[in-house]
Amino acid sequence: MGNIKMKGPRTVDWTDPDNVVLLLTKDENWLAVYFGKTYNEIKATKKRIITKIKNGKLKMEKEPGKPLYSEEQLGELAKFLEDKGIPLDQIGKINSIRRGTYETVTKDADGEAVTHTLNVTNVSYTPREDLTALDQDFISQAAPTIVRPSRRKLPQRDFRRTVAFSDPQIAHRQVGEEFVEIHDERAMRVARLMCHDLQPEVIVNCGDTVDLPQLGKYDPDSNHFLRTLQKSFDRAHSFYAELRADNPQAEIHEVDSNHNVRLGKFVLRHAMALYGLKQAGTPPESWPILTYPFLANLDAVDVQWHGGYGAARFHLPTFAGEGPGIDFIHGDKVRSNGSTADLLSKNYPYSNVVAGHGHKAQTHARTTPDGLYLTAVQMGALCKTTGEVPGYGTAVDDRGNPVHKQQDWQQSILVIEDYGNGHYNFDHVYIVDGKAYYRGKEYDGNT
């Protein structure tokens, strides 16, 4: 780990993929020490490198499957720990390694000042048994996933393509020794495959990314979710890491939603003193610990978070300056005896609007008095639709298995094209049994 590639005495080589991977995946405080920079320098560098990757000006070449650290580097670390009398088999996880040179001054026998230069290495680690206890009992920020950006450039287009999806409802039921997901990995994979293939400029997730049944106000249907909260945040993070790796130049946005805000409501109801609490020494703009963007570690995968469910929206202006743009919201209303898209259209008479929440694919179009076409869309979901998601009309049987019940929901992805002159296309792409078809191509999430 000590072998940072440098270009000069204080100049890190940012063309080296190992350095860039660290920059994109590690905490800024850790990086500041590791690279011998200030916190603000690291923040600014991170921004610059992300912009370069987005603009295709920085290419990441890395052999697939190559480990982050060489055997030689790991050998050095093992020797250091052994020299310190720390048995390797007692180490659960290395948290950080800091190396640096410090100067200290003492007085000699004649009272003269003498400067000593010390080379110091500090290793912070969690012992193996503590790690087991931590994993079982505590919720922590999702560990940054190593993002290896693909080298694809955005295609040159005279329109803008956006891919949107909603409502993965990520959560895991623990039924005996088995984990039963209520999100649908196949549908999420279709979203990933389509983004990879269509290379949108913008990706939008309209929310309910995590279900958080553990924190809801309703009676639990089982004890399945007791110890699986951490997995939800980890999967939300790794899903974004996959999208980020495949689409290094795309903007990725998420808008707040009723399931995500269960966390903040739970804290306010049961532990108000912890609301808004931040790690000491972090900058003012850092997320409080008990929030979704912190626990899902959205900053590490460059996801732009639009918080404040109820009012939260992401407004995407039109591609070329003409036209009404699109408001992306999660949504808070469902019309069971009619079209929710119709209701959305009435509530957004001056712009296009795209929402999730209803788990049903619907579109409503209107034409304004001056001839402008406006579209209101409610998207389908990425969660399972056959009774696994806890809610009204679903149940768990006496063996603890969720009862099969086909909901009147659809799974779908939305592909949007904006031609910059007020002309938009909004395409629902259905997912059935983990498979989708679009413009003659198959996207199979079962693979």
Tell me the closest approach of the beta carbon of residue 329 to Fe ion, in angstroms: 11
Which residue's CB is nearer to Fe ion, number 250 or number 296?
296
> Rounded distance, CA 278 to CA 290, Å?
8
Distance CA 398, CA 110 (A): 84
Using the minimum distance from each CB to Fe ion, give the nearer residue, 42 or 261.
261
- Please report how close the Cβ of residue 189 comes to Fe ion at its closest, in angstroms: 19
Distance between CA atoms of residues 208 and 255, nearest Å:
9
Closer residue to Fe ion, CB minimum distance, 248 or 331: 331
| Separation of alpha carbons 413 and 147, rounded Å | 24
How many CA atoms, within 13 angstroms, populate the side-chain half-sphere of residue 298?
A: 21
Environment class of 195 (CB within 10 Å of its CB; exposed 0-12, middle 13-18, buried 19+):
buried
Residue 115's DSSP bridge partners are: 105
Nearer to Fe ion by C-beta: 208 or 302? 208
Q: Say whether 328 sits in a helix, a strand or coil.
A: strand
- Minimal distance in Å, beta carbon 206 to Fe ion? 9
Q: How far is the CB of 357 from Fe ion (least distance, A)?
A: 4
Q: Return the number of the residue (167 or 246) whose C-beta is nearest Fe ion.
A: 167
What φ, ψ does residue 259 adopt, rounded to 5°? -75, -40
Q: Nearer to Fe ion by C-beta: 262 or 364? A: 262
CA dihedral 258, 260, 263, 269 (to 10 degrees): -10
Q: Which is nearer to Fe ion, 167 or 254 (CB)?
A: 167
CB of 309 to Fe ion, least distance (A): 9
Strand 441-444 and strand 113-127: pairing? unpaired
With beta carbons less than 8 A apart as the criterion, state whether 126 and 133 touch. Answer: no
CB 204 within 8 A of CB 416: no
CB of 411 to Fe ion, least distance (A): 12
Do you know the residue count of the chain?
447
89-122 CB burial, b ≥16 within 10 A, e <16? eebbeeeebebeeeeeeeeeeeeeeeeeeeeeee
Question: What distances in angstroms separate CA 383 from CA 38, 184, 187, 218, one per listed residue?
Answer: 42, 5, 7, 19
Closest distance to Fe ion from the beta carbon of 384 (Å): 12
Contacts 24+ apart (CB under 8 A), 391-397: 394/221, 395/221, 396/221, 396/222, 396/224
Q: Residue 385 CA to chain centroid, in angstroms? A: 23
Closer residue to Fe ion (CB): 63 or 408: 408
| CB of 139 vs Fe ion, minimal distance in Å | 22
Q: How far is the CB of 380 from Fe ion (least distance, A)?
A: 10
How far, in Å, CA of 149 to CA of 249, rounded?
9
CB closer to Fe ion, 192 vs 357: 357
Residues that bind Fe ion (CB under 5 A): 167, 208, 258, 357
Q: How far is the CB of 9 from Fe ion (least distance, A)?
A: 53
Q: Which is nearer to Fe ion, 244 or 360 (CB)?
A: 360
CB atoms within 10 A of CB 256: 26
By beta-carbon distance, which residue lies closest to Fe ion?
Answer: 208
